[in-house]
Structure 1
């Protein structure tokens, strides 16, 4: 009660699991609300794996997309409710490894890489290993890098690129094994971009709050466009984001070379 009263006095009400020992002493546990979103993302990634094992590739791809949405919400909820914690950060990283590393690799393998034999599982493993390395590097460099940019393709975007490719193909009745080399290129390429030095805009300088009416109208129009053909539109958005980062990095390298001359 004392802890809850203290939070209320400061105007910030949080949700927290508190464990009590038999001795009557109490100690802080983990914040419940943001970790519920993280658990939801973890479950969505696990569901994607199970769905792919049963040949439900559209459902598997949607599961990965849902995991990305939930992953984007847990950090925002933690900041809004002032419930950030080291436990939450570590749990989020482990959840990301499953939802954006293991799940996309296995879904892509089941849909369009299995008939490539060793090349198929190598492409899937390259993606998985790079996703794990990307997450580890992000955890180490989080405090030292420019918050406006990600170094390397963000793992949720890489997972979204793979998932929307599977979703689009499955929704059109395409057997992934008929385009297996394209699938392998996209999967391995997304993995390598995650551990590259290419900078991608994070959009973290944009905060949720009061916005002009035209911004709200733009969001509504964007949602309408997405719902016209979700897999096609989301795949196009992912491709544009990936290509834009590559072009900006090449432009920066060219300007750097010109300055040295």
Structure 2
């Protein structure tokens, strides 16, 4: 149990450290906005590792599942909401904090729904290899799209609250929605393209090192573009399952 839970705790601390950098950036250290976002991204990587480590070491436990949800709520709900508020939404008259709260609340609700359905017998999306709504780490990454654009272009328009607020609301809706989204665990590559996939992963890592913000922006836009295809694919799978049952 110790190793995967330690990784989860690291993800939690990384998310909280992002808040620390957001506060220092608000105090005048503009370069710390990059570190704030980077901390959330590191938390996302760690969140993707802890479950795999637990399965590999056979260290899965109810305690680990609860700790993982608490960590996700803070690292991908509270921390991004505070960073967005400090970076942009504080300038919105009256309602800036409401949009920040919408992100944190939607993340908490999504995680609560996930936990409540862990032992459910009927999970249509999961049984078909899909997720329900956008997962919390992906939601945090998508919420920072205006910040990526600001870091890439330097244009203050992307920092304006009337750009950030609608986008934050859209991402919050995606997290609590019932739309079917692709799951990495359901991804199965054909043998003849596995070498190409490995090469693509290596090139993607090089791009993240060379130009991280532009690469992250491209990944987010690609993910959003996949959402309609996920809905269509799930509809096809559901029709096939209904036909088999009939």
Q: TM-score range by the shorter chain?
A: 0.7 to 0.9
Aligned to 1:16: none
Alignment equivalent of 1:50, drawn from 20, 23, 29:
20
Residue 182 (str. 1) matches residue 163 (str. 2): yes
Normalized per residue, which structure has more helix?
Answer: 2
Residue 61 (str. 1) matches residue 37 (str. 2): yes
Residue 226 (str. 1) matches residue 244 (str. 2): no
Q: Which runs of 5+ in 1 are unaligned?
A: 1-30, 257-261
Q: Per-residue deviation at 1:250?
A: 6.4
2: CA distance, partners of 1:111 / 1:171: 16
Q: Per-residue deviation at 1:241?
A: 1.1
1: CA distance, partners of 2:159 / 2:223: 26
Question: Any idea what SS the aligned residue of 2:181 has?
Answer: strand
Question: Any idea what SS the aligned residue of 2:160 has?
Answer: helix
Question: Any idea what SS the aligned residue of 1:204 has?
Answer: helix
Larger Rg: 1
2: CA distance, partners of 1:101 / 1:250: 28
2: CA distance, partners of 1:231 / 1:215: 22
Q: Which runs of 5+ in 2 are unaligned?
A: 26-31, 239-246
Q: Per-residue deviation at 1:35?
A: 0.7
Number of aligned residue pairs: 225
Moved more, 66-75 or 221-230: 221-230
Aligned to 1:34: 4
Q: Per-residue deviation at 1:186?
A: 1.4
Distance change (3 Å), C-alpha of 1:247 and 1:118: farther
CA contact (8 A) 1:38 1:70 kept: yes
CA contact (8 A) 2:150 2:158 kept: no
Map residues 111-260 of structure 1 onto 2, 5 A cutoff: 111-143=87-119, 144-145=122-123, 146=126, 148-170=129-151, 172-175=153-156, 178-206=159-187, 212-249=194-231
